[in-house]
Amino acid sequence: MRPEILYPLFAPLTVLPGVGPKLAPLVERLVEGGHVVDLLWHLPSGMIDRRFSPPLTEAPEGRICTFVVRVLEHHTGFGPRSPTRVVCGDGSGGRLNLVYFHLKRGFIEKILPIGSTRVVSGKVEYNYNEPQIVHPDHVGPPEDLESLQRVEPVYPMTAGVQPRVLGKAMLGALGRVPVLPEWMDAPLKARHGWAEWDAALRTAHAPEDEEDLSAMAPARMRLAYDELLANQLALLLVRQSQKRLAGRPLAGDGRLREKVLAALPFALTGAQARSLEEIYADMAEPSRMLRLLQGDVGSGKTVVALLAMLNAVETGAQAAMMAPTEILARQHLATLEPLADAAGVRLGLLTGRDKGKAREALLAELAEGRIDILVGTHALFSEDVAFKDLGMAVIDEQHRFGVHQRLQLAAKGRAPDVLVMTATPIPRTLTLTLYGDMDVSRLDEKPPGRKPVQTRTVSTNRLDEIVGAVDRAVQGGAKVYWVCPLVEESEVSDMAAAEERWAYLREHFGDRVGLVHGKMKPTDKDRVMEAFAGDGLDVLVATTVIEVGVNVPEATVMIIEHAERFGLAQLHQLRGRIGRGDKASTCLLLFAEPLSETARARLTIMKDTEDGFRIAEEDLRLRGGGEVLGTRQSGLPEFKLADLAVHGELLAIARDDARLIVDRDPELQTERGKALRVLLYLFERDEGVKTLRSG
Ligand code: ADP
Ligand code: MG
C-alpha cells in the first residue's frame, strides 16, 4: 500500500488550481501521467529572467525587462484591426509604447488608466527608434515589482496548455510537496553536496541561471539519482524474491547433449562454451537461474539455448522456447528439428494460429509429458497451456517482452530456470537498468569463417544505378533484401511505400521479387519467406518485419531505403540479416538529402564497424538521453529525470548502493529501509516492495 505521506502527490491532476476536467487530459498527455507527481517530474527546459530593470533610455532590444512606468497617453486605432498604443514614461525621460491588438472595450482604461503608475514586464522591441512591448506578459500595480522581478521557469509545452496555466498548476503541485524521510546514503549526499529531496525538487523548478538547467546541476543530479536508485533497488528486490522461490538443481547426464554436439557440423566457439558453463552452473544450483544471454545477430545463440534446454530434458523435465513472432518461432523449430531428431527429443510448436482439435491434441501431449521442448510465441502464455513439468524456459529477443511477461512464463512451472536471449547489443549502462535483475553471459565472438559485410552509402537519386547493380548481383546468384522506408507512426504508410517499391521492382525482376509487410496474414508472410529462403524469389521487398532473427544464409545483399530514418540499433539488426554465410556480402544504405548531422554520423558509424556493442554505445551517445529513453518501440526503460547519456556514472553508484542495501537490509526494515520503501512508491516501483515478506 502506498504510504500516506505520498497521498498529496498521487492525487489526480484536477486537484491543482486551474486544472479542470477539460485541461486535465492535455496536461496528462504533456507529462505522461495523471498524478500530481507526474507534473512535478516535468522540469523546466528554460527560464525567463525578469530581474532586469534598466531605465527606459537604456532598454536593450530583444531582452525581457521589467519597468516601473507612468501611463501618459492612450491611442486607439481607427480600424477594427489597428492596434491600441499606450504611451508610458519613466524618470529617465525615456518613453515606452505598450501595444495591444484586438482589445475588448474598456480593458485599457481598467488596467492602464492614464496617470497611474504601473509595473510592466515583457520583451522589448524597437519601432521607429522607440522601445515598445507588444502584449506585455505582466501589467500590475507598483507593489507587484518585487514578486515580478524574478526568474520564471519555462516548461516544455504542448499545444492546448497555456504556459501561465501550467505555471500556476506547478505552483500548486509544489505546494503539495511533503518533507520525506531521507533514503539517501549520508556520505554520498555529503560528498555531492546534495540537498533534501523536497528542497532539490523546488530548486530544480526554480532555475536562477542557465547552469541550473543543466543535467549536472546538483538538484537535478539528486533527483536523477533517486530515480536510478529506485530502479536498481526494485530490480534487485525482484531478483531476490525470484531467487528465493525454491528452484531445483537441474543437471543432466549429458547423453542428449553429446548426440547433438556430434550432429553439429561445427565446433562451439569459445564464447558459446563459456556461456554454457555459466548456464549449466546456474542450473545446477538449487536457486533459480535468471540469466541473460547477450549476443549479436549471428553469434550462435540458438545452439546455446538448445543445449541448455537439453540439460533440463535429460533430467526428465520439459523446456519451452518463446519467440516474439510467428516467423521466428517457426524458424527456431526448423533449426532445432534436425538436431532434436538426432537426439531423439520430441518438439512441439504452439502459436496463435493453432486452434481447435490440433491444438487440443498438442496441449494433451504437453500435459502428459510427451513433448520435451515446446517452441512458440506469446501463445505459450495462454491459461490453458499446462506443462507436465516445465524446468527451463528460454525467451528469445527479450526486449519485446517485459519483466511482467517474464514472470508470467516462469509461473507455468515449478520455479523453472529462465534464460533470456537478446540480439540487441545494449550499452553496459542500459544493461543494468533493463536487466539489473539478471546475470549476464555475452557471446562476444562470432563463429569462424564469416566474411565482413561491405557497407556503402548511396544517394537515393541514383536509384537506377542501384537497380542495375542489384540486377547484376541477382544474375550472379545473389539473394537480395530490399528494406523500405520506415514511415513515422504508421504501419499503413510503411506498407504503402513497400508496395510501391515492389511494383516498381517487378518491372525489372518480374515475379522473382516478393513482398512482406506487417499487415499480411501470417500464412501469407510465411509463404513469401519460404519462397525467398528457397528457389522461388531473388529479391524480397520488406518493411522492418524482417528485422528480428530471420535467417536466410544465402542472402548476401541488403538495400535499405531512407537509411537516415532508421536508428543505429535498427540498422545494425537489419544488416545482420546478411553476411551469415561464407560468401562476401554488401549492404547499401540509401539516403535522401539533406542529411542531418546526426543522421550523417549514424551512417558513418555503420560504414566503420560491425561490432554491435560499439554501435550500441555510439547510439546512446548520439541520441543523447531523453530520446533513447523516450523511444517506446526500442523497449528501453523510460526515465523521467535521469538521462543515461550523462548520468551513467550515477547509475553505477546506484547499483552498488542498491546491492549494499539488499545485502544488509533485505526486508527494508531499518530506518533507511523504511525511507527506501517510500522512494520505491514515489517512483512507482512498488513491484519491488511487493516482494518483501512484510511488504
Ligand atoms: P543468433 O540467434 O545468435 O543470431 P544463430 O543461433 O541463428 O545466431 O546462428 C547463426 C548461424 O551460425 C546459424 O546458421 C548457426 O548454425 C551457425 N553457428 C552457430 N554456432 C556456430 C559455430 N560455433 N560455428 C559455426 N557456425 C555456427
Ligand atoms: Mg536468433
- Please give the number of the atom of ligand 1 that sits closest to the Cα of 296: 3
Please report which helix (H) or strand (E) contains residue 125, including its range.
strand 125-127
Query: Between the CA atoms of 631, 633, 635 and 640, what dihedral angle is there, to the nearest 10 degrees?
Result: 30
Question: 628 pLDDT exceeds 60?
Answer: no
Pairing verdict, β 290-295 and 439-443:
parallel
State the distance from the centre of ligand 1 to the C-alpha of 332, rounded, in angstroms. 12
Categorize the per-residue pLDDT at 495 as very low, low, confident or very high, splitting at 50, 70 and 90. low
State the distance from the centre of ligand 2 to the C-alpha of 140, rounded, in angstroms. 67
Categorize the per-residue pLDDT at 630 as very low, low, confident or very high, splitting at 50, 70 and 90. very low
- Please give the number of the atom of ligand 1 that sits closest to the Cα of 301: 3
Ligand nearest to the CA of 267: 1
Chain-wide mean pLDDT for the chain? 88
Q: What is the pLDDT of residue 554?
A: 86
Does ligand 1 come within 6 angstroms of the Cβ of 272?
yes
Set out the domains of the chain in order of their start, with CATH numbers: 4-48+154-213 (no CATH), 51-149 (2.40.50.140), 255-443 (3.40.50.300), 453-609 (3.40.50.300)
> pLDDT tens-digit profile of 368-392?
999 999 999 888 878 889 999 999 9
Does ligand 1 come within 6 angstroms of the Cβ of 298?
yes
Does ligand 1 come within 6 angstroms of the Cβ of 334?
no
Q: What is the pLDDT of residue 226?
A: 98
Does ligand 1 come within 6 angstroms of the Cβ of 269?
yes
> pLDDT tens-digit profile of 55-84?
999 999 999 999 999 999 999 877 767 889
Residue 222 CB partners (closer than 8 Å, separation 6+): 184, 189, 192, 194, 195, 197, 200
Question: Among 231-235, 417-421, 645-649, whose mean pLDDT is lowest?
Answer: 645-649
Question: 171 pLDDT exceeds 80?
Answer: yes
The grid coordinates of residue 102 equal 484586438
Question: Among 237-246, 596-605, 606-615, whose mean pLDDT is lowest?
Answer: 237-246
Categorize the per-residue pLDDT at 629 as very low, low, confident or very high, splitting at 50, 70 and 90. very low
Categorize the per-residue pLDDT at 637 as very low, low, confident or very high, splitting at 50, 70 and 90. low
Its pTM stands at 0.70
State the distance from the centre of ligand 2 to the C-alpha of 330, rounded, in angstroms. 12
- Please give the number of the atom of ligand 1 that sits closest to the Cα of 553: 14
Q: What is the pLDDT of residue 34?
A: 92
CA 16, CA 606: separation in Å to the nearest integer? 49
Does ligand 1 come within 6 angstroms of the Cβ of 424?
no
First to last CA, the chain: 8
Does ligand 1 come within 6 angstroms of the Cβ of 306?
no
CA 615, CA 472: separation in Å to the nearest integer? 31
- Please give the number of the atom of ligand 1 that sits closest to the Cα of 576: 4
Return the higher-pLDDT residue of 195 and 412. Answer: 195
> pLDDT tens-digit profile of 507-517?
999 999 999 88
Average pLDDT over residues 572-599: 87
Hey, how many other C-beta atoms are within 10 angstroms of the C-beta on 422? 24
Question: 105 pLDDT exceeds 50?
Answer: yes
- Partner residues linked to 416 by β-bridges: none
Ligand nearest to the CA of 270: 1
Residue 447 DSSP one-character state? P
Does ligand 1 come within 6 angstroms of the Cβ of 302?
yes
Asked if 348 and 319 touch (Cβ cutoff 8 Å), the reply is no
Question: 169 pLDDT exceeds 90?
Answer: yes
State the distance from the centre of ligand 1 to the C-alpha of 516, rounded, in angstroms. 24
State the distance from the centre of ligand 2 to the C-alpha of 572, rounded, in angstroms. 14
Return the higher-pLDDT residue of 263 and 618. Answer: 263
With the most atoms of ligand 1 within 8 angstroms of its CB, the residue from 264, 266, 306 to mutate is 266
Please report which helix (H) or strand (E) contains residue 604, including its range.
helix 597-608
The grid coordinates of residue 310 equal 537439453
State the distance from the centre of ligand 2 to the C-alpha of 185, rounded, in angstroms. 42
- Please give the number of the atom of ligand 1 that sits closest to the Cα of 304: 6
Question: Among 51-60, 207-216, 442-451, 584-593, whose mean pLDDT is lowest?
Answer: 442-451
CA 347, CA 337: separation in Å to the nearest integer? 7
Distance of CA 650 to the CA centre of its chain: 19
CA 462, CA 557: separation in Å to the nearest integer? 17
State the distance from the centre of ligand 1 to the C-alpha of 301, rounded, in angstroms. 7
- Please give the number of the atom of ligand 1 that sits closest to the Cα of 443: 3
Average pLDDT over residues 449-457: 88
Show the DSSP H helices in 81-215 as ranges. Answer: 107-111, 145-148, 163-175, 186-192, 197-204
Q: What are phi and psi for residue 670, nearest 5 degrees?
A: -70, 175
Q: What is the pLDDT of residue 626?
A: 37
Asked if 607 and 619 touch (Cβ cutoff 8 Å), the reply is no
State the distance from the centre of ligand 1 to the C-alpha of 571, rounded, in angstroms. 20
Question: 690 pLDDT exceeds 90?
Answer: no
> pLDDT tens-digit profile of 259-311?
999 999 999 999 999 999 999 999 999 888 889 999 887 889 999 999 999 99
CA 215, CA 225: separation in Å to the nearest integer? 11
Q: What percent of the chain has pLDDT over 70?
A: 93
Q: Which residue has the cell 530490480?
A: 235
With the most atoms of ligand 1 within 8 angstroms of its CB, the residue from 339, 394, 551 to mutate is 551
Atom 23 of ligand 1: nearest residue by CA position: 268
Q: What percent of the chain has pLDDT over 90?
A: 57
Does ligand 1 come within 6 angstroms of the Cβ of 268?
yes
Categorize the per-residue pLDDT at 366 as very low, low, confident or very high, splitting at 50, 70 and 90. very high
Atom 19 of ligand 1: nearest residue by CA position: 300
Q: DSSP assignment of 95-153, as one string?
A: EEEEEESSPPTTHHHHHS-TT-EEEEEEE-EEETTEEEEES-SEEE-GGGHHHHSSEEE
Ligand nearest to the CA of 396: 2
Does ligand 1 come within 6 angstroms of the Cβ of 551?
yes
Q: What is the pLDDT of residue 214?
A: 92
Does ligand 1 come within 6 angstroms of the Cβ of 447?
yes
Question: 91 pLDDT exceeds 70?
Answer: yes
State the distance from the centre of ligand 2 to the C-alpha of 439, rounded, in angstroms. 19
Average pLDDT over residues 559-585: 86
| Residues whose Cβ atom is located within 5 A of ion ligand 2 | 549
